[in-house]
């Protein structure tokens, strides 16, 4: 009986560890509530506004990194985020104007 409890506790600890690893890695590619607060305050953008709404996971990760860059001062961070948002919007508009194509696809 004691051996079964030890296995159950070990399995439970492993499950908790996997859950924590999965949730922490999921946050890494998304935008946090603080990121959305920053976008609202500094760039007047909500979660449902373009280009924020249609960002890919890679773009969300890049935007999160720019917003939380400890090396940049506030002015540089704001400019970097603004430039990235403009680029993401440009890509989204191009993709809507060219359905089925990708903006970064090699020329044929």
Q: pLDDT-derived band of residue 14, with 50, 70 and 90 as boundaries?
A: low
Same domain for 41 and 90:
yes
Residue 21 has pLDDT above 50, yes or no: no
Six token digits for residue 98 = 């060219």
Domain count, the chain: 2
63: left (phi over 0), alpha (psi -120 to 50) or beta: alpha
pTM tops 0.85, yes or no: no
Whether pLDDT at 27 is above 50: no
Q: Is residue 104 included in any domain, yes or no?
A: no
Residues 20 and 40 grouped into a single domain: no
Helix-strand-coil split of the chain, %, nearest 5: 70, 0, 30
What was the pLDDT predicted at 106? Answer: 80
Q: Which two tokens stand for residue 17?
A: 């560890």
pLDDT of residue 23: 44
Q: 66 and 17 share a domain?
A: no
pLDDT band of 47, cuts 50, 70, 90: very high
C-alpha span between 46 and 32 (Å, rounded) = 13
Please report the pLDDT score of residue 107 as a whole number.
74
Do residues 66 and 89 both lie within one domain? Answer: yes
Q: Which domain holds residue 76?
A: 31-99
- Same domain? For 21 and 42 the reply is no
Residue among 8, 31, 7, 11 nearest 19 (CA): 11
In this predicted structure, the answer to whether residue 4 has a pLDDT above a threshold of 90 is no
pLDDT in the model for residue 101: 82
**Structure-block tokens of residue 19:** 């859950």
Residues 82 and 39 in one domain: yes
Structure tokens at 46: 């909500």
Mark whether 24 and 56 lie in a shared domain: no
pLDDT at 12: 60
């Amino acid at each position: 009986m004691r051996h079964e409890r030890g296995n159950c506790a070990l399995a439970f600890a492993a499950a908790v560890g996997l859950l924590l690893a999965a949730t922490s890695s999921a946050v890494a590619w998304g935008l946090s509530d603080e990121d959305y607060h920053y976008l609202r305050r500094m760039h007047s953008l909500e979660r449902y506004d373009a280009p924020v709404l249609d960002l890919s996971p890679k773009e969300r990760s890049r935007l999160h990194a720019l917003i939380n860059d400890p090396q940049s001062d506030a002015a540089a961070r704001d400019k970097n985020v603004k430039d990235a948002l403009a680029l993401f919007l440009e890509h989204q508009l191009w993709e809507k104007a060219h359905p089925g194509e990708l903006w970064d696809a090699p020329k044929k």
